[in-house]
Amino acid sequence: MRFHSFLLASALSLYLICGCQPRANWKKDFDYKSLRNIAVARLDSPENYTSSGGAVRDTISRYLLESGVKVVDSKVFDKMLQNAVPRSDRLFAQIGNLAGADAIIDGSVLRWQEEKEERVYYTGSDGKVSYETAFYNAKVDITLRLIDVRSGEVIWANSDSYESFDIRHTMESAVYTTMRPLRKLLLD
């Protein structure tokens, strides 16, 4: 009985340490397998890291291609969107349709924190520093949504946060964990 309690406590601790799973929501009665071509819009990004939206978009495009999904050339989509103001789901849908997309992925990079060194010092019983540890943590938070170009309706949305040792791995992991539920809808 004691071992069972230990396992339950360990599992709960691991869940709390690792954080919650991505929170995907989707339109249940939509035929996701009918989506053949997807455009990926440049994601909104923090002012101090304006290039993060483009980096995340490129990673999303690579993930979709690796999964066997066709991706509309972002330059075509961007060129059409360039003079369109204000941005709206309906406008995205119209431009996506003209660019040859069945759906558009849009979203935001909410946090982009590059890796930085943090040192933790440990002291012995004598009060002197006995050793130190360095941590290099990067953090990325993203939200994504999928817009159907026929209706202009948001049909899927998800968000995730990821923390790791370097910004590239952190960004890729945030994208992959956020996109995984959509991949299942598109391909399974």
61-103 per-position pLDDT tens digit:
999 999 999 999 877 777 777 777 676 777 878 888 888 899 9
Given a cut of 80, whether residue 180 has pLDDT beyond it is yes
Count CB atoms within 10 A of the CB of residue 72: 19
Which residue do the tokens 């789901």 mark?
A: 89
**Ordered strands of the 154-164 beta sheet:** 25-26, 154-164, 129-148, 103-123, 37-40, 70-71
Strand ranges for 14-165 from DSSP E: 25-26, 37-40, 70-71, 103-123, 129-148, 154-164
Q: If pLDDT is split at 50, 70 and 90, which confidence band does 3 have?
A: very low
The residues spanned by each domain of the chain are: 21-187
CB contact burial 161-184 (16+ within 10 A = b; e otherwise): bbbbeebeebbbbbbbbbbbbbbe
Summarize the confidence of residues 49-54 as an average pLDDT.
88
112-141 per-position pLDDT tens digit:
988 877 777 788 888 888 777 766 789 999
Instruction: Write down the CATH number for the domain with range 21-187.
Output: 3.40.50.10610
